[in-house]
Amino acid sequence: MKKSHRRVLILQSADNSRALLSVADVADLLGVSGSWVRRHINELPAVRVGRIIRFDAELLSEQLRARIESGKSLKPERTTMLFRYQRGHVFQRGTRAKVWYGMFREDIRKPDGQIERHLRKVRLGTLAELPTKNAARNCLLEHLRVSSTTADMSFQELTERWEKAEGATMKNSTLSHYQHTLRAYVLATFGKRKIAAINREEIQNFLTEQARKYSESSLRSMRVVLALTLGWATDCGWLPKNPCTRIKLPKRTGGRKVVRTVMTPKQVKAIAEKLEEPYATLVLFLAASGLRIGEAVALRWSDFNGNVLRVERRIFDGEVDAVKSKTSERSLPVDPALLERMKKLGSGEWVFRSRTGTPINPGNALRRYLQPAAKELGISLGGWHDFRHTLTTTLRRNGVHPKVISGILGHAKVNLAMDVYDRATVDDFQRPIADVVKQLLPSCYQKEATA
C-alpha cells in the first residue's frame, strides 16, 4: 500500500477499534525516519510495554488531523546537527601490545545540507592504560561527550579557542600574522560554518576564488592558517581528519604581486643622496649588511663590540621582539667607514632613531621618504626588502659561497637565499654565453683582437 493511501486510511479509522503502531509504521505514516520518531516520543501518543514502544493509532490520527486542519506542518528532519544518544562499541586490536579502540556513529552535514551518518573509529589507549573493558567504555563515553559538545562548533569559535590555547606557543609576530589572515580573508567565508561541515572541496574552491584577487604569499598564508586551525581541531578529537591536508595552491590569476628590484651600487648611492639623515645612512647600512628592516631599526649601540655587530632583536608593530629564528641571531662585521658614518648620527640608545629618540617607524619611512625618492629617480622599488635581495645577488655574482651568504642573511636553510632572494638576470647570462660562442667561433674573436 502506498504511503498516501495508508495515511488516508488511518485518518478515516478513528471510529474503528484502537490499534497500536510500531516505530516503523509511524515513520512510514509521517514520512520521517525511525530515529526522528524516537527523538519525538514525548510529542507522540506513545505506549510502553516493557522495552517495547508502540503508538496509539487513533490518538495519532487525531493529532495529525488537528495539525493538518490548523495548517501546521510536521517538524522537518533536523536542520542542525544533533548528537544522538549512544554508548558505542569497544574492542581490542594488536598481537603483542593490545590496544583498545572505540567505534560510534557520527552525523556529518554534506555540502547540500543533508545529514550523512559516518562510522568513526578512535584509539582509546593500550591495555596497560585501560586494563578493563569498563575502563575502555568510560574512555569512549568521554570521547562521545566531547564530540557532542563540539558537533555544532563554528569555525569562528574554533579560531578563538585555538588562539587562546596555541597563541602562547608562537612569536608575537607570527600570531599577529595568522590573526590578520583570519580576519582579512578566511573568516568572511568560513566563520559561521560548522567545522564538521567544512570539506576539502570547499577549501580548494575558496583558494581558487582568492587567487583572482590576492598574491601567492597571501594564498599561502590562507592555506597555512586553515591547516593549523583545522589540524588542531583534529588533534583535539573534534574532527576525524584534517580536510586541509595536501591542499594545493592554485595558480594565481590576479592580484598584486610585489616585484623585487636588484639595484646597482650607483642606484643605491643615488637613493641615499636623495634622503636626509638618518634614512640615508640606513639605506647604505641595509645595502651593505642585508639586515631585515625590523632588525636594523632595533639596533642599539650596546650591540657593537668594536666593529662587530650582534643581531639579537627586532621591532615588530612598534614592540621589541626576538629575531625571526634562532639562526637569525648572528654576529656581523661592519666596515669601519660605514661604522664611522653611523656614529655621526649622534649618541643615544637606538642607532637609527626619530627626532623624539624612538626607533624609526619602517612603514612611515618607506611611504614618506624612500618610495618618493626612488620614484623621482625612476627606480621601481618594492620595499625595504629590495636591499636584502640586492646584497644576495651581488654576493652570488662575486662568487661568495652560498653557506656564507646564508650566514650573513641569517637563514636557517642554505638554499633559501638562492631559491627566494636571488634572481638571475640578462647580465648573468651574457658572460657564460659569450664564453661558449668564443669556443664555437674562435676565428671571429681572433679577427676582432687583431683589428
Q: Are residues 142 and 32 in the same domain?
A: no
Residue 327 corresponds to which cell in the numbers above?
A: 639562526
**What's the domain range around 40?**
3-69
Q: Domain check: are 138 and 160 in the same one?
A: no
- Count the domains in the chain: 4
- State the Cα–Cα distance between residues 73 and 138, nearest whole angstrom: 41
Task: Please tell me the distance from the alpha carbon of residue 442 to that of residue 415, in angstroms, as a whole number.
Answer: 37
* Termini Cα distance of the chain: 108
Shared domain check, 164 and 95: no
Share the mean pLDDT of the chain. 80
Does 215 map to a domain?
yes
Give the confidence band of 221 by pLDDT, cuts at 50, 70, 90. very high
Identify the pLDDT of residue 403. Answer: 85
One domain for residues 302 and 199:
no
Alpha-carbon distance values, 248 to 27, 212, 318, 370 (Å): 45, 15, 35, 37
Burial profile 351-381: b = 16 or more Cβ within 10 angstroms, e = fewer: bbbeeeeebbebeebbeebbeebbeeeebeb
Residues 302 and 394 in one domain: yes
**One-character DSSP codes across 156-217:** HHHHHHHHHHHGGGS-HHHHHHHHHHIIIIIHHHHTTSBGGG--HHHHHHHHHHHTTTS-HH
Classify residue 33: in a domain, yes or no.
Answer: yes
Nearest Cα neighbor of 139 from 168, 99, 176, 189 is 99
> Other C-beta atoms within 10 Å of 33: how many?
14
Instruction: Let me know the angle formed at the C-alpha of 288 by 281 and 315, rounded to the nearest 5 degrees.
Output: 65
For residue 12, the model assigns a pLDDT of 41
Q: Is the peptide bond between 278 and the residue preceding it cis, with omega within 30 degrees of 0?
A: yes
Q: Based on the fold, state whether residues 357 and 384 are members of the same structural domain.
A: yes
Does 253 map to a domain? no
pLDDT for residue 256:
61
Cross-strand partners of 308: 305, 333
Residue 145 in any domain: the answer is: yes
In the structure, what pLDDT confidence band is assigned to residue 112 with cuts at 50, 70 and 90? low
**Do 415 and 308 share a structural domain?**
yes
pLDDT at 162 > cutoff 80: yes
Out of 150, 165, 183, a domain closes at 150
Write out pLDDT tens, residues 289-330: 989 999 999 999 999 999 899 999 988 878 888 887 888 889
pLDDT class of 274 with cuts at 50, 70, 90: very high
pLDDT band at 10 (very low <50, low <70, confident <90, very high): very low
Question: How far is the C-alpha of 429 from the C-alpha of 438, rounded, in Å?
Answer: 15
Q: Is residue 448 part of a domain?
A: no
CATH code (residue 349): 1.10.443.10
Whether residue 256 is contained in a domain is answered as: no
Residues 27 and 163 in one domain: no
- pLDDT band per the 50, 70, 90 thresholds, residue 11: very low
Question: 59 and 96 share a domain?
Answer: no
Cell 505514516 belongs to residue: 29
Strand partners, 322: 313
> Is 434 among the domain residues?
no
The answer to whether residues 347 and 293 belong to one domain is yes
Which three cell numbers mark 172? 608575537
pLDDT at 81 over 80: no
Residue 201 sits in a domain of what CATH number? Answer: 1.10.150.130
Same domain, 401 and 278: yes
The answer, yes or no, to whether residue 425 has pLDDT greater than 80, is: no
Judge whether 295 lies within some domain: yes
Identify whether residues 142 and 163 lie together within a single domain: no
CATH of the domain at 62: 1.10.10
